């Protein structure tokens, strides 16, 4: 199956994954004593969007999500929304979502089909987490008034869950790309020659 895209399909996929990220906010968040930012399921959204939609559409789905949050919709975990959330300790993580999704998608689509689970896990966990923490920790330092060592320690409780989300996103992406092989471009092969 050829890799096809249309503007209408792109818009639909972008909207669906913005909605998925919002729906993940319905899962209750919790705070740790060390960190000013909540532990939520929503970081699964940007990772999965990149792994399934590619860089452009995955990143735009998260830009759309953040735009809806900025205009006041209570889409963040705990029913938070409005421009004020971008002046809080979570701002770096929020800003990282479109970037992480774009980068995950770019690398995933550069590798092309068939989707390889091992590479997917490495991209989701290593690349996604590096981007999110690289922006999230400075945000916590600036708006949560933490030193660098304190911000690093505050983020340690997030690591197991974020790793699990990256692995789970790769497993889901593997199944979706197997079911819909036209999502990923085939690099030098077609599905028929790969199966032969």
Instruction: Give Cα separations from 191 to 5, 108, 112, 183 (angstroms).
Output: 18, 17, 11, 12
Mean pLDDT on 72-85: 93
Question: How many other C-beta atoms are found inside a 10 Å radius of the C-beta of residue 157?
Answer: 16
Whether 88 maps to a domain, the answer reads: yes
Residue bearing the bigger pLDDT, 3 or 35: 35
User: For residue 182, what pLDDT is reported?
Assistant: 84
Whether 48 maps to a domain, the answer reads: yes
pTM of the model: 0.88
Question: How many other C-beta atoms are found inside a 10 Å radius of the C-beta of residue 97?
Answer: 29
Share of the chain above pLDDT 90, in %: 74
User: For residue 32, what pLDDT is reported?
Assistant: 66
User: For residue 36, what pLDDT is reported?
Assistant: 62
- Whose tokens are 């300790």? That residue is 89
Whether 158 maps to a domain, the answer reads: yes
* pLDDT tens readout for residues 9-50: 999 999 999 999 999 988 876 666 666 666 788 999 999 999
Whether 196 maps to a domain, the answer reads: no
Whether 1 maps to a domain, the answer reads: no
Q: Decide if 105 contacts 56 (C-beta within 8 A).
A: yes
Q: Could you say which DSSP state residue 183 is in?
A: S
Instruction: Give Cα separations from 116 to 4, 6, 111, 149, 178 (angstroms).
Output: 21, 26, 9, 36, 10
d(C-alpha 184, C-alpha 4), whole Å: 9
What total of structural domains would you count in the chain?
1
Whether 36 maps to a domain, the answer reads: yes
Whether 110 maps to a domain, the answer reads: yes
CATH number where 14 lies: 1.10.1760.20
User: For residue 190, what pLDDT is reported?
Assistant: 52
d(C-alpha 84, C-alpha 16), whole Å: 25
pLDDT at 195 over 50: no
Domain limits for position 164: 7-186
pLDDT at 93 over 70: yes
Whether 42 maps to a domain, the answer reads: yes
């Amino acid at each position: 199956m050829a890799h096809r895209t249309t503007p209408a399909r792109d818009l639909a996929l972008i909207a669906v994954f913005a909605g998925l990220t919002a729906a993940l906010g319905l899962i209750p968040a919790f705070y740790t004593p060390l960190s000013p930012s909540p532990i939520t399921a929503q970081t699964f959204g940007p990772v999965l969007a990149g792994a399934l939609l590619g860089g452009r559409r995955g990143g735009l789905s998260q830009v759309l999500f953040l735009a809806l949050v900025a205009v006041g919709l209570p889409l963040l975990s705990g029913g938070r929304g409005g421009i004020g959330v971008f002046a809080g300790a979570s701002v770096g993580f929020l800003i990282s979502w479109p970037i992480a999704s774009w980068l995950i998608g770019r690398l995933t689509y550069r590798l092309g089909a068939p989707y390889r689970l091992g590479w997917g896990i490495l991209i989701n966990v290593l690349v996604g987490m590096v981007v999110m923490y690289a922006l999230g920790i400075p945000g916590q330092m600036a708006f949560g008034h933490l030193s660098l060592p304190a911000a690093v320690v505050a983020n340690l409780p997030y690591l197991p869950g974020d790793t699990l989300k990256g692995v789970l996103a790769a497993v889901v992406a593997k199944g979706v790309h197997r079911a819909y092989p036209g999502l990923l471009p085939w690099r030098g092969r077609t599905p028929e020659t790969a199966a032969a």
